[in-house]
Chain A
């Protein structure tokens, strides 16, 4: 009988932790080592904006497990341990000054924000929401902040706009796009969110280029844009999630067209015995095969599970993605799956648009909210290619359902005749998605 496998994981985020746990579960005899440069693991970074916005009362609630729980499960968790070197030939890595051999390696090195390439980008006051302890410090700093700028209306940017506005801070948005969440959402879907944020006091500046940061004594004083300077005590940088691939590239792992690591459906990289998962990889979009990177925490977690299972000797597969997404912007929920009208238009994908403005509960039931749904379908066949929705409630469930329907190749006809829950407090007689599909059938 040979030596048990030694599986090393780089990164302690959603992908890394789930990969390590699954590797250990798949192969209990294996030695599983996680190295993370950070102090903490197993917390929800996605909850940070909501603590900053005082919708969640404290940071401690974001912690899901303590480090001793990994020790108990047999995983060797090494915190504050930076992997400085990888050797693909000898299958070793240098971490915390120690050379550690590995039989299988799982790279879950995550992302960094793209540094704005403008003067003053090193000033104090440029703020990044990612690490929980730095979030805790920011929470204290915000007590003295009067004016803030959020750079880019990405999902995190939108969450931070609401959080800062909740804190009574004069909050500006600077974005080169023409509307909120323009990388993913259609303008008519994003509009209610934008209005909701404006009602909280957010001041958006769309179609505006960042020119630089100005300040004195090393501290930020203003964000300079193509439309002039905006006074600011802090600027939250919510730019593109750039995959962290420095170490992976050092051993020759193949990088794809997004800058993320190329993996196959078993999360194997271009090097035998090396897997990768999470924000550092790219995976294909289900309809087009287009490589995508920088998805959500749930994608990272599932990819990590697949990578961990396969590194442990299992045989799991990760499917191409349809990317259900959703969030709350201000007081409005927004979400969708796959392509919206703007993204389909951008890529030149032929489509028809089916719309409906429905309701979330029976019209007479207290708390009923509008739900605007748009479905996109292939002309002729009616096969769904995506959809988006905005409303007061029920967006997440619809986005999840839509994503699954897309994966199964559903058509407008299928959705038009779908069954739906009808119960006055939780669902209307007519499901808005079904009504949208019925409206769309007329266009086929």
Chain B
């Protein structure tokens, strides 16, 4: 016989109902195995969360520096290989997107790869058989010391 504690949504702790949503813990009100919510009240994790929230709320709307407020960088100048890879991939992705978009009669991607990459690199790359391209990828990827 089924465990009556698992039957009926009224036996599911309110905190769990709030966290998971009633319909997800008890499938149409007939079952479910509610899991304990993370960071129960009074736990170290919950206390850390409450301290973090209090600190954050005290800063809302106030000027001043914040840790992690601007996690953004201008990427360092890429090496030749990295730069070639980035531009080449972009051109190939754009070309593929244009083909799919034509089939869907939808707008294509923004053409940002550059004319030479679009008109020269893409057709040349596509003309090379995959077996050769695969070897090129393997040689130029820089990946060493991995079991294959």
A and B assemble together: yes
Q: Which A positions have Cβ atoms within 8 angstroms of B?
A: 37-40, 42-43, 56-69, 80, 111-115, 117, 128, 130-134, 136-137, 140-141, 176-179, 182-183, 186-187, 206-209, 226, 237, 242, 244-246, 249, 254-259, 262, 264-266, 268, 282-284, 288-291, 317, 319-320, 342-343, 345-350, 366-367, 425
* Contact of A133 with B68 in the complex, beta carbons under 8 Å: yes
- Using Cβ atoms and an 8 Å threshold, which residues of chain B touch A182? 93, 97, 109
Distance of A250 from chain B, by nearest CB (Å)? 12
Question: A178-B109, A256-B142 are contacts. A134–B69 as well, Cβ < 8 Å?
Answer: yes
- Using Cβ atoms and an 8 Å threshold, which residues of chain B touch A179? 97, 100-101, 106
- Using Cβ atoms and an 8 Å threshold, which residues of chain A touch B118? none
Question: A65-B44, A137-B60, A178-B109 are contacts. A57–B19 as well, Cβ < 8 Å?
Answer: yes
* Contact of B100 with A342 in the complex, beta carbons under 8 Å: yes
- Using Cβ atoms and an 8 Å threshold, which residues of chain B touch A349? 130
Q: Determine the distance from Cα of A269 to Cα of B82 in the docked complex, in whole angstroms.
A: 18
Distance of B94 from chain A, by nearest CB (Å)? 9
* Contact of A59 with B49 in the complex, beta carbons under 8 Å: yes
Q: Determine the distance from Cα of A64 to Cα of B85 in the docked complex, in whole angstroms.
A: 39
B2: CB under 8 A from chain A? no
Distance of A288 from chain B, by nearest CB (Å)? 6
B10: CB under 8 A from chain A? no
* Contact of B46 with A60 in the complex, beta carbons under 8 Å: yes
* Contact of B60 with A133 in the complex, beta carbons under 8 Å: no
* Contact of A128 with B70 in the complex, beta carbons under 8 Å: yes
* Contact of B147 with A317 in the complex, beta carbons under 8 Å: yes
Q: From B56, which residue of chain A is reached at the shortest CB distance? A: A136
Q: Determine the distance from Cα of A66 to Cα of B43 in the docked complex, in whole angstroms.
A: 8
* Contact of B52 with A59 in the complex, beta carbons under 8 Å: yes
Q: From B79, which residue of chain A is reached at the shortest CB distance? A: A255
B12: CB under 8 A from chain A? no
Question: A59-B49, A187-B104, A262-B142 are contacts. A345–B72 as well, Cβ < 8 Å?
Answer: no
Q: From A121, which residue of chain B is reached at the shortest CB distance? A: B72
Q: Determine the distance from Cα of A331 to Cα of B49 in the docked complex, in whole angstroms.
A: 28
Question: A60-B49, A136-B57 are contacts. A348–B133 as well, Cβ < 8 Å?
Answer: yes
* Contact of A348 with B148 in the complex, beta carbons under 8 Å: no
Q: Determine the distance from Cα of A68 to Cα of B71 in the docked complex, in whole angstroms.
A: 27
Extra A-B contacts (12), CB below 8 Å, given A62-B38, A291-B141:
A39-B52, A40-B48, A63-B45, A63-B52, A114-B75, A137-B56, A176-B110, A179-B100, A179-B101, A242-B73, A264-B144, A348-B126
